[in-house]
Chain A
Amino acid sequence: MTLLGKLTWQAIPLHEPLPLFSGAAVVIIMVAIVAWVVIKGYLPYLWREWITSVDHKRIGVMYCILAGVMLLRGFIDAIMMRTQQVMAYNAPGFLPPSHFAQVFSAHGTIMIFFVAMPFVIGLMNVIVPLQLGVRDVAFPTLNSVSFWLTAAGALLVNLSLVVGEFDRTGWLPYPPLSELAYSPGVGVDYYCWSLQISGVGTLMTGINFVTTILKLRAPGMHYTRMPMFCWTALASNLLIVAAFPVLTATLAMLLLDRYVGFHFFTDTGGGNSMMFMNLIWAWGHPEVYILVLPAFGIYSEVVSTFSSKPLFGYRSMIYATMAICIISFMVWLHHFFTMGAGADVNAIFGIASMIIAVPTGVKIFNWLFTMYGGSVRFTTPMLWSIGFIVTFAIGGLTGVLLAVPPADFQLHNSVFLVAHFHNVIIGAVIFGVFAGYVYWFPKAFGFTLDERLGKWAFWLWLIGFWVAWGPGYVVGLEGMTRRLQHYDVAEWHPWLVVAEGGVLIILLGIIAQIAQIVVSVRTREQRRDVTGDPWDGRNLEWATASPPPPFNFAVLPDVTDQEPYWDMKARAREIGQLTRPEPEYQPIHMPRNSPTGFVTAFLAVVSGFALIWHIWWLVVLGLAGAYATFVVFAWRDHDEELIPAEEVARLDRANRAVRSAALHHRQLRREVETQREPRQ
């Protein structure tokens, strides 16, 4: 069996019905989907238009779909954990400890790396180039590689469900538990290799977007005219570039320990396991802001659009964003105050952690003052934003509590902490990406989502969240530690039953979201966004058609204001026609589609799997394949496609016509209104 390394039939959980059935169900569903695609003859279309696409909008949509699917997987884990804790009062429950440990590890890993990250990156992909008024990101093919590597990591994590096991050390593999001596199985290896692969993808995304935002902007778009979402995306991607190499290095060290007997973090040979905590949180704390800063950007866009007002304190928002960006690297030690660094060090990191709440507070007030005096439209994205402000303010306050070292000594590792980070991650990141998803859906697909079901989803999520995690604070203060497979404290039990109810309410919210998609797709003809500007938007993403043509803009817009599109609309209304006369259309060069990303990801899955199971010949094969792909890609001559001027003209004229019509319609309506009630 050395041909297959450590891989034997033992790896298939034939004796454990739960993972076996769930794994089999996933495999059957996947095979069914693939079969359906092939039989219906959609494969060539999928390959041409999506899998090999280097269009930032398509890649962004695929990121969001990946995030949505993985959200379901991670949420099933959540239901299992809540149910286990309801059942396991003075009883073993239905999940044995080894399985429970895999479930909580997989839940955290999936939710952070394969839900929150791809969702945030997906929205940035769709929107940032449009808001900057340009045609694509700086490196389109690299963008495709990034996406497919992320998908490869997600696939490996899910593979562990069927072949072997996932890690049991929590979502961060703390040594010495994660060292070979204490975790001899393949679980930690699955974790490390999937994150190494998807981490490379994320790093390349960071490089791509920093370059895009700093070097590719429409003429006239100064730094102080960039939309807030672009600013927060810039901050987030700077953090990716600065933090993800730390994750790569740290996991590489752990892998060296496990594979070739190095002594970075071992108990023996002089290794230092606390060094792992320092390194992993030097990545981990910025990671929190990598996720939340773009969400802050989304709220800024949504609140300003639906209050029909410019963002209050635009410049202070930029300062706050960049301040958070820098301070986020100076607080990592608050994740382990109990390490014993001493009172002075703890005090400094505690104060730094409290200071980071100041720019965050600035942002909250800016959103509130943006709403103040505006004519607020309570659409679904706006509801998510208001729900966020309330939820996040409370989550932030419990965070400040945890930042006080003496309090942290009591609360460390308790459910109070778990409640806190769910409060901020769900309340800020997840609510934010949902707001962005509803807000920008018409831009990506050309029709709006059903508002009624959207509002149902919001209320169910908001109430469900508080019912699920409000009790977490209580049992945390009552001394319940995290990750308990069973317990015998009578006081905790009723609260955990309530929490189970909360998670079921969230389940209803997710069902409402799925129903929202189904209903909206079926009624899409009635909800078409013909003008490309369904919300009376203010930034450039609304200045083009929905969905935008492959080249985004027939002619790059001239930016003369902080809210370029609002400014254009105001001027158009003033002169009674579109601000720009019809341009002389030029042919446009667009990057050509490439299977490089897909092939790279396939080889990454093969190499990763081979590394996990010590199948060395396959590792060599995979790496050689990667180099060959690199050379083939480097060898191609024809890397751009020409869109002829007539095609550009056809698409742009159609969009100009509907915009012109909308303008005149509005003009007429305004005249009628003016006649009815003359303005003072």
Chain B
Amino acid sequence: MSAASTALRAGSDPYHIGHGPSTGVPEYTGHGAGGPAPKRIVVGYGFWIFILSDVILFSCFFATYTVLIEARNGGPGPQQLFDLHNTAVETACLLLSSFSCGMTSLAVARHNLLWSEITLAITGLLGLTFIGLEVHEFLGLVAQGAGPTRSAFLTSFFALVGCHGVHVTAGLLWLGTMMAQFPAKGFKQTILHRYLCFSLFWHALDIIWIGIFTVVYLIGTITP
């Protein structure tokens, strides 16, 4: 744009106040100003925003847990209930599943169907083990009279940990769908984008678990 048109604009509007200088030369900032971002970026970015919203959902359950932790209603507290061995195995399963999910990403990047399926299967089995252990823990608590209806503390515990469990279960359904899609559809762009989102989701659940592990199990059993 030339100086002439700048002058024209300034002439047609004497109150052009509070506006930045318009040099007319497009300055691509790399933040979408260079035109629409490619599909892969858009999909990944959108899914990141979803994960952030999911983290906020969890933050509500974390907040209620910390508010209600002392509301035992005469019932048992973390020290009597939590078994760190079980939690350690659960944590190991989930962290290892994240590792194998990372291996899947490498296999997918190389379009290697066999290894993609194998590592996804390992991820799924580890996830299933995690869910199995969690259900086992929940059933054990209910059996000893420490179910979610016992006290507000247990309510918030079951809700927080259960919410994570529901997410992992949904992730397993998604994982199964992905395992079916790789052989059926091949490594198409859309499938690759979908896998990108799945891996983000799976790793995010790991991060949430680290929070649960720390806030619920570690702090709950260590502090007197």
Contacts and interface: CB of A to CB of B under 8 A. Distances in A.
Are A and B co-members of a single complex? yes
A622 to B, nearest CB: 16
Contact of B177 (A262, A268, A631): A631
Interface stretch (A241-249, A454-462, A611-619): A241-249
A638 B63 CA distance: 44
Interface string B35-68: 1110001100110011011101100110110011
A279 B156 CA distance: 14
8 contacts: A214-B32, A219-B34, A220-B33, A270-B68, A270-B153, A310-B16, A562-B22, A570-B5
Interface residues of A, number: 72
A567 B24 CA distance: 11
Given A210-B46, A222-B31, A637-B185, 9 more contacts: A138-B42, A207-B53, A211-B49, A223-B29, A249-B57, A256-B155, A268-B73, A373-B14, A556-B36
B148 A634 contact: no
B4, B16, B71, B152 — most chain A CB neighbours (10 Å): B152
A637 B184 CA distance: 11
B187 to A, nearest CB: 14
Contacts of A275: 64, 67-68
A316 interface: yes
Interface residues of B, number: 64
Contact of B29 (A211, A222, A558): A222
Nearest to B181: A634
B139 interface: no
A219 B149 contact: no
A114 to B, nearest CB: 22
Contacts of A310: 13, 15-16, 19
A215 B18 contact: no
A134 B36 CA distance: 8
A78 B220 CA distance: 51
Nearest to B51: A207
Interface of A: 134, 138-139, 203, 206-208, 210-211, 214-225, 241-242, 244-246, 248-250, 252-253, 256, 260-264, 266, 268-272, 275, 279, 309-310, 312-316, 369, 373-374, 556, 558-562, 567, 570-571, 574, 627, 630-631, 634-635, 637, 639
Nearest to B56: A245
Nearest to A215: B37
A326 to B, nearest CB: 15
A245 B53 contact: yes
B149 A203 contact: no
B53 A373 contact: no
Prevailing SS type, chain B contact patch: helix
Contacts of A560: 1, 22, 24, 26
A425 to B, nearest CB: 25
Contacts of B150: 269
A316 B68 contact: no
Given A217-B35, A263-B155, A562-B22, A203 B53 contact: yes
Contacts, number: 192
A314 B19 CA distance: 6
A319 to B, nearest CB: 11
B151 interface: yes
Nearest to B29: A222
B41 A215 contact: yes
A272 B68 contact: yes
A262 B9 contact: no
Contacts of B31: 214, 222-223
B72 interface: yes
A250 B57 CA distance: 9
Contact of A220 (B26, B52, B155, B177): B26
Contact of B73 (A211, A245, A269, A556): A269
* A-B complex: 3 closest residue pairs judged by Cβ atoms: A270-B71, A270-B152, A249-B60
B5, B12, B33 — most chain A CB neighbours (10 Å): B33
B17 interface: yes
A219 B5 contact: no
Given A215-B36, A215-B45, A262 B148 contact: yes
Nearest to A575: B5
Contacts of B159: 252-253, 256, 262, 264
A220 B1 CA distance: 13
B79 interface: no
Contact of A570 (B12, B27, B184): B12
Contacts of B16: 310
Contacts of A637: 185
B190 interface: yes
Given A214-B45, A219-B33, A562 B56 contact: no
Contacts of B56: 241-242, 245-246
B29 A634 contact: no
Contacts of B36: 134, 215-218, 556
B20 interface: yes
Contacts of A211: 42, 45-46, 49
A242 B9 CA distance: 40
A11 B24 CA distance: 67
Contacts of B45: 211, 214-215
B222 interface: no
A263 B1 contact: no
B17 A279 contact: no
B111 interface: no
B18 A207 contact: no
